[in-house]
Amino acid sequence: MKTLGLALIGTGYMGKAHALAYRAARAVFGDLPEVRLMWLCDQTDDLAHKMADQFGFQHATTDWRAMVRAEEVDIVSITSPNAFHYEMALAAIEAGKHVHCEKPLSLTLDQARAMEEAARKHGVKTMVGYNYTHNPAFRHAQRLIAEGAIGDLVHFRGWVDEDYQADPDLPWSWRATRTQAGLGTLGDLGCHLVSLAYGLMGPIDSLIADTQIIHTTRPVANSDTRAAVENEDTASAIVRFASGAQGTLCTSRSAWGRKNRLDWEVHGTKGMITFAQERLNELQIYQNEGPVAQQGFRTILTGPAHAPYGDFCPAAGHQLGFGDLKTIEVAAFLRWIAGGPQSAPSFTDALPFEAVIHAIDASARSGQRITL
């Protein structure tokens, strides 16, 4: 297989996750092209060189524009703050590079549409960082639903909560602005929930929603002043799926005590499947069959029977983690680039997720039901 040169933009939490995943993917799966860690970019020269050495990249720079045009680069991985995704992705696409971009795609739906259109026009392959959709437990839930294990789907209930903005004394930052962050909890957390709802229930046809800014101002660091918070801390939506099923989506970045509560339930005419992200190696299923006295939820613990868990570990109960899901995501992308089956979500696949979170924002502002 042709080796592939990687350029990584950003060295924060997600930058590290990408670097580790691209290093690990071939070692875990074997049937992948070799990835050469060529260029790493960050804001300062000292930081770029320090992290290039730590992550194992050959070169470091602060000039991402020149980096994405480099001949030895085949894939550009974008883990920068949201405001930079649009410009960086378009530049990489126009240079003929494949693009792996963290979610959300961009600040606005128009920008996301332009990114998707450019990728199709230039014929490059793309991946968006919805790694929860690569969980073997999630994929097994999809199979169970397709096989009719819980009958016809009638309702979805999902919520995703964290507390990273719960403290009212947390200093104001770019995350509070629409020009730098775009949406608030919807862009950070809610889009993940939407991606899972789509994968389980299919497209969302319409919704009505409400949002809330809990802490309307925050203290400015090293100052006696406070600055306005422009985007939402919580969001709730009642949705109608194209299938006719109904559902609710709720998200908060100000939920004290919640660290990564990404939970969902799929209700069917013959049973229910439930999942909790903080127990990401388990599914719960209830099936209305057999003696009533013996009915109840049972736990499905993921293991080698749920591909690709077995590529990481030969025994159930040892557990996969967040980074492993990112490695599965990267492996699917590399396989597609090497001529294998198309991976998802590409920019085209992820565009409806962006449409939903912006529709929730629009519905909250107008008080009206939005049809997508």
Instruction: Give the DSSP per-residue string, 89-125.
Output: HHHHHHTT-EEEEPSS--SSHHHHHHHHHHHHHHT--
| Coil vs helix vs strand at 264 | strand
DSSP code of residue 222? T
Across 94-115, b (16+ Cβ under 10 Å) vs e yields ebebbbbbbbbbbbbbebbbbb
Q: Note the pTM of the prediction, 2 decimals.
A: 0.96
DSSP code of residue 344? S
| Coil vs helix vs strand at 207 | strand
CATH T-level assignment (fold) for domain 133-371: Dihydrodipicolinate Reductase; domain 2 (3.30.360)
> Which CATH code of 3.30.70.1140, 3.40.50.720, 3.30.70.250, 1.20.1250.20 fits the domain covering 4-124?
3.40.50.720
Average pLDDT, the chain: 97
Supply the pLDDT for residue 296: 97
Distance CA 154, CA 148 (A): 13
Distances (CA, A) of 185 to 49, 93, 168, 278, 360: 33, 28, 16, 19, 11
Residue showing tokens 């809330």: 212
Averaged over 143-153, what is the pLDDT?
Answer: 98
> Which residues, other chains included, contact 358 with Cβ-Cβ below 8 Å and sequence gap of 6+?
108, 109, 183
4-124 and 133-371 in the same fold: no
Averaged over 78-87, what is the pLDDT?
Answer: 97
> Which residues, other chains included, contact 266 with Cβ-Cβ below 8 Å and sequence gap of 6+?
141, 145, 150, 153, 155, 156, 200, 201, 272, 273, 274
Supply the pLDDT for residue 90: 98
pLDDT tens readout for residues 294-342: 999 999 999 999 999 999 999 999 999 999 999 999 999 999 999 999 9
Query: Following CA atoms 105, 111, 116, 122 in sequence, which dihedral angle do they give, to the nearest 10 degrees?
Result: -120
Band the pLDDT of 231: cuts 50, 70, 90: very high
For residue 349, give the nearest of 121, 125, 90, 16 by alpha carbon: 125
Residue 271, pLDDT above cutoff 70: yes
Share above pLDDT 90 across residues of the chain, in percent, rounded to a whole number? 99
Taking the domains of the chain in order of start, what are their residue ranges? 4-124, 133-371
Supply the pLDDT for residue 1: 64
The residue type of 245 is A
For residue 198, give the nearest of 103, 338, 336, 81 by alpha carbon: 103
Share above pLDDT 70 across residues of the chain, in percent, rounded to a whole number? 100
pLDDT tens readout for residues 15-31: 999 999 999 999 999 99
Band the pLDDT of 2: cuts 50, 70, 90: confident
Averaged over 172-184, what is the pLDDT?
Answer: 94
Distance CA 356, CA 217 (A): 27
For residue 248, give the nearest of 236, 235, 260 by alpha carbon: 236
How many C-beta neighbours within 10 Å does residue 26 have?
18
Residues in the chain: 372
For the chain, counts of helices (H) and of strands (E): 11, 17
